[in-house]
Chain A
Amino acid sequence: MEAGYEPIADDEIIYRRVPESTGWYDPASQTLSLPAFAPRKDDISGISVSRAKYKTIEQAAQGRPGKSYYVAVLKAADIRQAGMAIEPRPEIPGGIDPSHAEITDLNAANRKEDMTLERQQRLVELCLEVKGPYHTAAE
């Protein structure tokens, strides 16, 4: 099977990028806020995450040039045990990214539902650690 299309194993480590500029992670209190896992209007099929087996944490943190990002670290099994599905989604706009995956139960269609808020809260609780911030070099 082509890299990135195989099912995500329970023991896989999952990264979620968190922009430093938003204040969604407070390094002083080491607390994440719910928007770190909030689906956007364009998250049609789920919120994006990265698979650690295909990306270093520094690579997962790369974003807009000149900006910095934290990375929240989770385990696939914990996400599933909390009742959420996580699926490989290597096809992204502009090409293939084997590391790209989605937590499909958090998506644009349900972004304002109570269950979605509760799931965001659950992911905050399940976060193993937050690393960073990592700076994306200016172009």
Chain B
Amino acid sequence: MLDIINQRSLISPPMETAVDTGADRDLPATSDTRSRWRTDWQNLIDQLTKWLQNPELVEDEGVDPPSTTILRLAIDYAERFRDEGFPPPGKIMPDPDGGIIFERRHNGTREEFHFWDDGSIEYVLFSGGRLVERCEV
């Protein structure tokens, strides 16, 4: 799966690969960025964990709460993305039918990892308001 995901801009390689030398990997700025990403991922994982403990936080009129299975799946992926050092999404939100979406906006693009209620996972990329990529993960 990571081979596929590595091609996606949502989880584009960490910033240090722009200067692809081993020495640069330890630059303080890079370290700070990776540390911040890790913290952001952890905050999102904590949010998902809260939903797991209290589904009423997500349930609303016209919104079914995600099942335990879907929440655990999303947490599992979030932990893997965190540990791989990928940039975090700007937000995590439910879909109306018990799914979960990781959304990241960047330079006029909108990327989503959509964990559908049936357990399928999709990557979606909009650029300039147009759907330019969609695939099952």
Using CB atoms and an 8 Å cutoff, list the residues of chain A in contact with chain B: 17, 19, 21-24, 26, 31, 33-35, 38-41, 63-64, 67, 111-112, 114, 117-118, 121-122, 125
Residues of chain B within 8 A (CB-CB) of A38 are 95-96
Cβ distance A15 to chain B, nearest Cβ, rounded Å:
14
Main secondary structure of the interface of B (DSSP, over half): strand
Cβ distance B102 to chain A, nearest Cβ, rounded Å:
11
Find out whether the CB atom of B60 lies under 8 angstroms from the CB atom of A21.
Answer: yes
Cβ distance B56 to chain A, nearest Cβ, rounded Å:
9
Residues of chain B within 8 A (CB-CB) of A121 are 110, 126, 129-131
Q: A19-B60, A121-B126 are in contact. Are A35 and B94 (CB under 8 A)?
A: yes
Supplied contacts A19-B61, A21-B57, A64-B60, 15 more A-B pairs, CB within 8 Å = A19-B60, A19-B62, A21-B60, A22-B94, A23-B93, A24-B93, A26-B91, A35-B94, A38-B96, A39-B96, A67-B60, A67-B61, A118-B131, A121-B130, A122-B129
Residues of chain B within 8 A (CB-CB) of A63 are 60-62
A-B contact pairs, 20 of them (CB 8 A): A19-B60, A19-B62, A21-B60, A21-B63, A22-B94, A23-B93, A31-B105, A34-B112, A35-B93, A38-B95, A40-B97, A63-B60, A67-B60, A67-B61, A111-B97, A117-B124, A121-B110, A121-B129, A121-B131, A122-B129
Cβ distance B66 to chain A, nearest Cβ, rounded Å:
12
Q: A33-B103, A35-B96 are in contact. Are A19 and B131 (CB under 8 A)?
A: no
Residues of chain B within 8 A (CB-CB) of A26 are 91
